[in-house]
Structure formats: structure tokens, C-alpha cells
């Protein structure tokens, strides 16, 4: 098996990509924002969110305290940016694999399996969620717009059956969120996510035999490796999934 490394995770690029306010999009602003985000992540891992203040974050990022408020209004907001960062990293890792697949059903399978795998075994993500104190919806799944276009492509190719594509996407999102909740409650058998993928493929109109074959066939491996700042090295997660 050949490990496909994730795209370079330059924090400035991530910050720029994650940021939809054009006012933030000068390279310097993107860099400052990225270092605030990286500092927050580091401190949350080191001390937990409760013992991390905005002052700690700016000190760690090497900027004046007031600078924080040019980018974020609350501590919660910068922690949400860390989550967004993780999400972009996940999307970029699986994109590597997706880009080499042709069959829309295979693409959906690989994507679902990748996210379920992250949800079950990415200890860093789980640890960050636990330490971050964030309580909002912290879904770990493909972005809605991407899932929507995956389904659309499958329907156009005659591979999927869905009258209302938006609704199919929303249902899949609901299923994935539900499964993630079961995972975090420790209520899921280890092979259950494969069964879930098979259900979703059948739901999308694939015959059971095809759904089963797709779910069981080994997929191109993904090597996931997160960007490391110079300050951290212990929390790295690397592995393959198939």
C-alpha cells in the first residue's frame, strides 16, 4: 500500500481558506490569525480551556493583547477557529484520495469511511473537543456542499437514486451525526461504521450486493498527518485506513 501524504498544511493557507471575510485576507493578517489559532490549540491541550485566557493566547502567539480583538470577539470564537482548522485538514487529506477516484459511489464510500475512521480513532480530535469546553454542534463529517455535489454527480451518472438531492444530503448528515454521537458514547460495535456505509449506499439506491462490495473493498489508503507547530510534537496522529 502506498501512503498518500496529505497536502502541506501551511497554517497561513489554512487560515486564508477558512476565512471568508475579505478584510482578513492580507497575508500578514492571515499569518497573525493563524498564530492566534495555533496558540489557542496548544494552550488548550496544555491546560484545558478553563485555564487558558485571551492574554495567555496573545502572549503565546507573540502579539499584543488588543490584537486578539481584531480577529475574534471571544475565546470561544478562536476555539471554533481551531475546530474549523481541523475540519479543513480532514477535507484536504481525504481530497487527496477522492481526486484519484472516478466512480461517484466509490467517492462517497471512501469519504464516509474516512470520516468515520477519524471520528473513531483520531484521539487528537477527540481530546481537543473534550478539552475545548465547546458544546455547540461539533460535527465531524464532510461539508454539506461537498456531500451535495457528490450525490448530484452520482445521480447524474445514473448511479444513485434521489429525487430531492438536498434532502438526501440532509438525511445522510443526520445519520452521520447520529453515528458520531453513538461513537462518542461508546455505544458502537467496531464494525458498525462499515454497516452504516452499506446502509447509506443502499439508501442512495445501490443494490445490496454492490453496496456490500464497495464497503468491503479496500480503498486507497490515506495517510493523515497534521501540521505541527514548532512547539508541539507529542500529539501527532498518523495512520492508514482501508
CA distances from 8 to 118, 175, 227 (A): 19, 31, 8
Binding residues for a copy of itself restricted to 190-209, rule: CB under 8 A? 192, 195-196, 199-200, 202-203, 205, 207-208
The answer to whether the beta carbons of residues 197 and 113 sit under 8 Å apart is yes
Q: Using the minimum distance from each CB to a copy of itself, give the nearer residue, 6 or 211.
A: 211
> Of 37-45, 118-126, 135-143, 184-192, which part binds a copy of itself (CB under 8 A)?
184-192
Measured from the CB atom, the residue of 27 and 207 that comes closer to a copy of itself is 207
**Residue 137 CA, distance from chain mean position:** 13
Considering only the stretches 109-117, 133-141, 170-178, 216-224, report the one whose residues sit in contact with a copy of itself under the rule CB under 8 A.
170-178
Q: Cβ 158 to a copy of itself, closest distance in Å? A: 13
Regarding 177 and contact with a copy of itself (CB under 8 A), the answer is yes
Contact 142, 110 (CB under 8 A): no
| Cα-Cα end-to-end distance for the chain | 10
**CA 74 → CA 33, 62, 69, 80, distances in Å?**
14, 18, 8, 10
Size of interface with a copy of itself, in residues (CB under 8 A): 28
Q: If you compute the radius of gyration of the chain from its CA atoms, what whole number of angstroms results? A: 19
Q: Decide if residue 131 touches a copy of itself (CB under 8 A).
A: no
- Looking at residues 138 to 167 of the shown chain, list those that interact with a copy of itself (rule: CB under 8 A): 161, 163-164, 167
CB 204 within 8 A of CB 162: yes
In contact, 30 and 21? CB cutoff 8 Å: no
Query: Which residues are at the interface with a copy of itself (CB under 8 A)?
Result: 161, 163-164, 167-168, 170-171, 173-175, 177-179, 181-182, 187-189, 192, 195-196, 199-200, 202-203, 205, 207-208
Amino acid at each position: 500500500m502506498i501512503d498518500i501524504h496529505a497536502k502541506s498544511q501551511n497554517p497561513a493557507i489554512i487560515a486564508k481558506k477558512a476565512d471568508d471575510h475579505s478584510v482578513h485576507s492580507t497575508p500578514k493578517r492571515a499569518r497573525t490569525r493563524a498564530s492566534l489559532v495555533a496558540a489557542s490549540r496548544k494552550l488548550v491541550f496544555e491546560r484545558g480551556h478553563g485555564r487558558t485566557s485571551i492574554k495567555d493566547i496573545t502572549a503565546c502567539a507573540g502579539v499584543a493583547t488588543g490584537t486578539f480583538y481584531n480577529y475574534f470577539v471571544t475565546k470561544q470564537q478562536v476555539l471554533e477557529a481551531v475546530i474549523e482548522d481541523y475540519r479543513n485538514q480532514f477535507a484536504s487529506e481525504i481530497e487527496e484520495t477522492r481526486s484519484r477516484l472516478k466512480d461517484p459511489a466509490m467517492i462517497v464510500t471512501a469519504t464516509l469511511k474516512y470520516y468515520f475512521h477519524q471520528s473513531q480513532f483520531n484521539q487528537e480530535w477527540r481530546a481537543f473537543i473534550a478539552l475545548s469546553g465547546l458544546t455547540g454542534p461539533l460535527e465531524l463529517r464532510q461539508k454539506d456542499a461537498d456531500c451535495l455535489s457528490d450525490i448530484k454527480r452520482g445521480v447524474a451518472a445514473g448511479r444513485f437514486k434521489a429525487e430531492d438531492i438536498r434532502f438526501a444530503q440532509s438525511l445522510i448528515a443526520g445519520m452521520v451525526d447520529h453515528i458520531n454521537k453513538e461513537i462518542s458514547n461508546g455505544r458502537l460495535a467496531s464494525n458498525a461504521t462499515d454497516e452504516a456505509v452499506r446502509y447509506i449506499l443502499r439508501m442512495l439506491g445501490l443494490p445490496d450486493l454492490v453496496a456490500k462490495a464497495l464497503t468491503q473493498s479496500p480503498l486507497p489508503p490515506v495517510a493523515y498527518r497534521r501540521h505541527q507547530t514548532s512547539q508541539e510534537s507529542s500529539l501527532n496522529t498518523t495512520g492508514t485506513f482501508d
